[in-house]
Amino acid sequence: MDTDAHRESVRMRAKVAREVAAGLREASQGLRAVSAELRRRGSARVAKRRGGASRRLVSTTTAVDDGLVGWGPMRPFIEFDSTMVGRDVAIEDAKTLLCERYGISRGEAYAILQRGSSRSNRKLREIARKLVAESTAR
């Protein structure tokens, strides 16, 4: 009789273990779905933040170009928005350097950097970093 009771106890524990495992599988699938939704919403939130940073960057640099505000006080904002959008800060520094040196707009400075990049077949970021490094070395 002891063996029958023992077998029944083992069967009951196995049944409970299977039920717990099934519950854990369901919970795991639910967590995966929630995680996927959060990732989707997070990437949408990042894209929205980048869009806002891009608009701010355009309006800020336009204000600097038009002479409404100086580059100095706006530099931290432009650097922050540049990194949010994925631009290199060296490009912003190079544009500023060209603007100050030749009295041109930031758009014209960017066009000069682009032409230099395409003519030398090097990345624009590389050209900008070299320009900034050479100007600080003087």
| pLDDT at res. 119 | 93
Closest CA to 49 of 81, 2, 10: 81
Which pLDDT does position 107 carry in this prediction?
A: 83
Helix axes 71-85, 2-65, angle to 10 degrees: 140
pLDDT at 65: 67
Pick the CATH number of 88-138 from 1.10.10, 2.60.40, 3.30.450, 1.10.3470: 1.10.10
Cβ count within 10 A of residue 92: 24
Strand intervals (E) in 4-126: none
pLDDT (tens place) for every residue of the chain, 138 residues total: 578 888 888 888 888 778 877 777 777 777 677 667 766 766 666 666 666 777 777 777 777 766 677 767 777 877 777 777 777 888 888 988 898 889 888 888 889 999 999 999 999 999 999 999 998 876
| pLDDT in the model for residue 45 | 66
Contacts 24+ apart (CB under 8 A), 27-31: none
- Distances, alpha carbon 66 to alpha carbons 50, 61, 70, in Å: 24, 9, 10
Ranges of each domain in the chain: 88-138
What is the pTM for the complete model shown?
0.53
CA distance 80 to 75: 9
Give the pLDDT score at 88.
Answer: 80
